[in-house]
Structure 1
Amino acid sequence: MNTREGQAQALFRSYSRNSNAALLAPDSADIDALTGVFADHFVGAGPAGVMGGTKDSSFPDILRQGFRNYRAIGGTRFEIIALDVEMLDDANAMVRADWEFDYLRSHDGAKGTIAFRNIYFVNFAGGEAKIFAWITPDEAQAMKDHGLI
């Protein structure tokens, strides 16, 4: 594993750890660490379309609210369980991250896990690994399929 691959692995281990902590306690989460994994500008794509964003002053609140929402629907664990880093060139990598989202449904006490793969694009400008793009599956449909929304 080269240095850049190691940086990407470390970035996603931190992202996973901090995402799970934010799910468990959104109001006391290390939001700076979570926002720190993203580039100043980013793009996301999924079944609903493509969106672009800027890591501005509203970004931490958006992340915090997202974790509150996951918790409100019964989320109990949110972690990356497997990573695959593919260097595209000296400055960019594609990372396939397999996530698991465990839940406890409030209306019937049923437990379950939603497994999904996100694909991320990471840039190493300035010597730091930062996520600048991602591709996600239909999260809302998965939540509906599991009776969470």
Structure 2
Amino acid sequence: MEAAVRKLFERYESFFNRSLGDDVDMDKVASLYASDFIAASPAGVMTGKNDDQLKQVMEQGYARYRAIGTKEMRIRDVRISPIDQHHCLAHVAWTATYAREDQPDTAIDFEVHYLVQKLDDEAKVFGWVSGDEQALLKKHGIG
């Protein structure tokens, strides 16, 4: 389980960073997710399907990240809490780096907690819990 989850997040980080540039392949990004998912943040809880609407929303999200100066997202650590032989909670510590006009780059550390399912040797995200991204960005003068 652990090797498959680490491989999943290596791909996640790679696809995310490519999407911050001009190398956006939404099919590859969508391949990280299960057919259905749940997401929770201080803004509420939502459910969704891994379909064209998800790809469109994610593409808009990457465009927004580029617009606010996101240069890269790097994983600092992945801590895995097993649930059973097919499921775990992956606590992923990220560092986001933002380019700032007339200022040094700004690095922001945050965590996202992902629900992961592993079937047939492949791990996929089926949910995540995140903090208040907008408040964190505002605190650092970004966005």
Q: TM-score normalised to the size of structure 2?
A: 0.93
Number of the residue aligned with 2:20: 23
Q: Which of 98, 106, 113 is 1:103 aligned to?
A: 98
Q: CA RMSD in A?
A: 1.3
Q: By how many angstroms is 1:126 displaced?
A: 4.2
Number of residue pairs matched? 143
Structure 2 gap segments, 5+ residues each: none
Deviations along 1:90-115, one digit per CA (max 9) or x if unpaired, are 11011010111100123x43421111
Number of the residue aligned with 1:143: 137
Q: By how many angstroms is 1:143 displaced?
A: 1.0
Q: Which of 69, 76, 83 is 1:88 aligned to?
A: 83
**Aligned sequence identity (%):** 31
The SS at the match of 1:77 is: strand
Q: Which of 66, 73, 77 is 2:68 aligned to?
A: 73
Structure 1 gap segments, 5+ residues each: none
Deviations along 1:60-107, one digit per CA (max 9) or x if unpaired, are 22111111101101111112121112221111011010111100123x
Deviations along 1:20-62, one digit per CA (max 9) or x if unpaired, are 111122xx32222211011111001111111111111122221
Q: TM-score normalised to the size of structure 1?
A: 0.89
Number of the residue aligned with 1:37: 32
Query: Of Structure 1 and Structure 2, which has the larger fraction of its residues in strand?
Result: 2
CA distance in 2 between partners of 1:34 and 1:12 (Å): 11
Contact preservation (8 Å) 2:4, 2:121 = no
Number of the residue aligned with 1:134: 128
Contact preservation (8 Å) 2:77, 2:94 = yes
Q: Which amino acid aligns with 2:45?
A: V
Contact preservation (8 Å) 1:9, 1:85 = no
Contact preservation (8 Å) 1:76, 1:104 = yes
